[in-house]
Amino acid sequence: MPSDASLVSIEDLVTQPQKYADQFIEVHGFNVGTLEMPACSPYFREPIDWILMAGPYIEYPGGEAGYEPPRIEIKNSFNGLVLDPMGQYGSIKQAAVWGWWRLYDGPIGCGEFDSRGTPIPPTQTTQSWYVDAVKFQWLESIAVPTP
Degrees (nearest 5) of the Cα angle 131, 136, 100? Answer: 25
Q: Domain 6-142, what fold?
A: OB fold (Dihydrolipoamide Acetyltransferase, E2P) (2.40.50)
Q: Sketch the domain layout of the chain as residue ranges.
A: 6-142
SS3 20: helix
- Residue 24 phi/psi, 5° resolution? -85, 120
Query: Residue 111: its pLDDT value, please?
Result: 93
The percentage of residues in the chain with a pLDDT greater than 90, rounded to a whole number, is 44
pTM: 0.80
Query: Residue 87: its pLDDT value, please?
Result: 44
DSSP 55: S
For 122, residues 6+ apart whose C-beta sits below 8 A from its C-beta are: 44, 107, 108, 109, 110, 111
DSSP string, 85-141: SB-TTSEEEEEEEEEEEEEEEEE-EE-EE-TTS-EE--S-EEEEEEEEEEEEEEEEE
Question: Looking at residues 76-99, what average pLDDT do you find?
Answer: 64
Coarse DSSP helix, strand, coil percentages of the chain, rounded to the nearest 5 percent: 10, 50, 45
SS3 67: strand
Confidence of residue 106 (pLDDT cuts 50, 70, 90): very high
